[in-house]
Amino acid sequence: MKINDLGLGKLPEFKNLDNISKKQEPQFGKMLGEFVKGVNDAQIDADKKTKDFVQGVNDVELHDVMIAAEKARTSLDLLMQIRNKALDMYKELTRMQ
C-alpha cells in the first residue's frame, strides 16, 4: 500500500541539522535569563501593588493584590523547580563521568 501526499506540501530535507538548530533556536542561557527577569518583574509588580493597597493609592483592589502575589509566587516556585532539575541533571552528569 502506497502512502500518498497528505497535503502538507514538500517536507524539508534535513541535510545539515547543525546549522538549522543554531540559527532557529534561541540559546538556553538567554531564554533562562529572560525568564528570571520576568520572575523579578512579577515580584516587583506584586510588591508595588501591595504597597499601593496599604497606602490607599491608585485605587488598587484586594483581588488585584492577591492575583499579583499568587502570580509572583507561582513564577518563583517554577524557577526554583527549574533550578533544582538543572542541579540534579548536573549531578547526574558528573556521576556518569
User: pLDDT, tens digit, for every residue of 50-91?
Assistant: 999 999 988 899 999 999 999 999 999 999 999 999 999 999
Three-class SS of 21-79? HHHHCCCHHHHHHHHHHHHHHHHHHHHHHHHHHHHCCCCCCHHHHHHHHHHHHHHHHHH
The full set of domain ranges for the chain reads 27-96
Model confidence at 94, pLDDT cuts 50, 70, 90, reads very high
Classified as helix, coil or strand, 97 is coil
Confirm whether pTM is higher than 0.75: no
How many C-beta atoms lie closer than 10 Å to residue 75's C-beta?
A: 19
88 vs 19 pLDDT, higher one:
88
User: What is the rounded CA–CA span in Å between residue 97 and residue 85?
Assistant: 19
